[in-house]
Every structure is written in structure tokens, then in C-alpha cells.
Amino acid sequence: MRARSYHHGNLRAALLARAEETVRERGVQALSLRELARETGVSHGAPRRHFGDRQALLDALAEDGFVRLGQALDGAVRDAEPDCTARLQALAGAYVRFATRHAALLELMYTGKHREGAESVHAAAEQAFAVSLGVISEAQGSGELVPGDPESLAQVALATLHGLAAMANSGMLDVEELETVVPDAVERLLSGLRRR
């Protein structure tokens, strides 16, 4: 007996949602197309119509994660005040929130991004990180930040945020501490990047 009935058009989304739950609850190693079909309540061959094999499912999950991360970053920046500090603080908060709420997915995202043949994952990652690159480039253009390679500056900022999220995900920092640590980290980064 099937747990749910899926109509055309939403099976792929349902499979991705269930796959993300599996990764979060039991890790990537527990993910299989057959088990995913059983847990989703569809025939064991149904997932193969959307994902040719397990690796295609993992790539789709990583790509979806980067798309969602990009949307979170973009939304935070759009909702922030227009100055550089507010936009970077909003971006930082959005990144760390996503990274701590979706720790297992984030690990998969970064693993899949570097796999040969994962062009769609790489493209989605580039799109997500274009948000931070845009904030830095605009701040340089307006004279708020020092000149220099905006991609390099964005990488340093994201590496800092990713490191803080990794520390929280591994238990080295309490998630609650991030509410003060992240804004402080952004201020410290900005103190070195602001025009004097």
C-alpha cells in the first residue's frame, strides 16, 4: 500500500524532500533510490524517471541546496538597508542560518560541487555565490570598501562564515552564540576592508 499518491509534476520535488530528510536523519550513505521509492510510496522504478542513478539524485539534491541557499542570500540582501554593513550583516546571517539548519545538506553540496560531471551543481553554486560577490563589488564601486579583487574578498568572507557554521555544526560553538559571533566577525572583516 502506498503512503501517498503523487500526481505528475510533484514526484521529483517529493523525492528530493524525502532524500534531504534521509540525509539529515541517517546520512548520505543511507540514501538509495529503492528505499527512497518505498519511503515516498511509489514503485521502485519511479525515482529513476527523474534520477538515472544514485549519483544523479545526490547531484540534484546538491543543486537544489545551492538554489535555495542563493534564494536565502538574495532575499536577505534585498530586504536589508542599502549600505554595505547592513547588506553584509544580512548576507552573513542568512548564510549561517542556512548552514546550521541544513548541515548535512550543506556538506553534500560542497562535496558534490567538485565532482567531475557535476556542471549543474557547479553552476548553481556560482549563482548562489554571485550574491556575495555582487554586494562586495557594489560596495567597492560606491567607495565603501577598498579596491581589490572582489572575488577574493567574497571568498574570505564566505570562508569565515562557513567556518563559524562548521564550528556550530560540530558542537564547538553553541548555535545561540552565533547571534553575537557572526555580526562581530562581519565587523572585524569590514574593519580591514573599509576605505580609510
DSSP-derived secondary structure for 77-117: HHHS-SSHHHHHHHHHHHHHHHHHHTHHHHHHHHHHHTSTT
pLDDT, residue 112, reads: 62
CA distance 41 to 3: 5
CA distance 102 to 165: 10
**36, 11 contact by CB (below 8 A):** no
CA distance 187 to 192: 9
Architecture of domain 1-52: Orthogonal Bundle (1.10)
Percent of the chain with pLDDT over 70: 93
CA distance 78 to 172: 31
pLDDT, residue 10, reads: 87
Reported as a pLDDT band with limits 50, 70 and 90, residue 178 is very high
Give per-residue pLDDT as tens, 27-86.
999 999 999 999 999 999 999 999 999 999 999 999 999 999 999 999 999 999 999 999
Q: Find the helix packing angle between 103-113 and 11-26, rounded to 10°.
A: 110
- Those residues whose C-beta lies under 8 Å from the C-beta of residue 108, and which sit 6 or more positions away, are 23, 28, 58, 61, 62, 65
pTM: 0.89
Q: Find the helix packing angle between 54-79 and 84-101, rounded to 10°.
A: 150
pLDDT, residue 193, reads: 87
Coil, helix or strand at residue 145: strand
Domain locations in the chain? 1-52, 54-193
Give per-residue pLDDT as tens, 122-159.
999 999 999 999 999 999 999 999 999 999 999 999 99
Mean pLDDT of the chain: 92
Reported as a pLDDT band with limits 50, 70 and 90, residue 111 is confident
pLDDT of residue 1 exceeding 50, the answer is: no
pLDDT, residue 196, reads: 76
pLDDT, residue 2, reads: 43
User: What is the distance, to the nearest Å, from the Cα of residue 134 to the centroid of all Cα atoms in its chain?
Assistant: 17
Residue range 54-193 in CATH 1.10.357.10:
yes
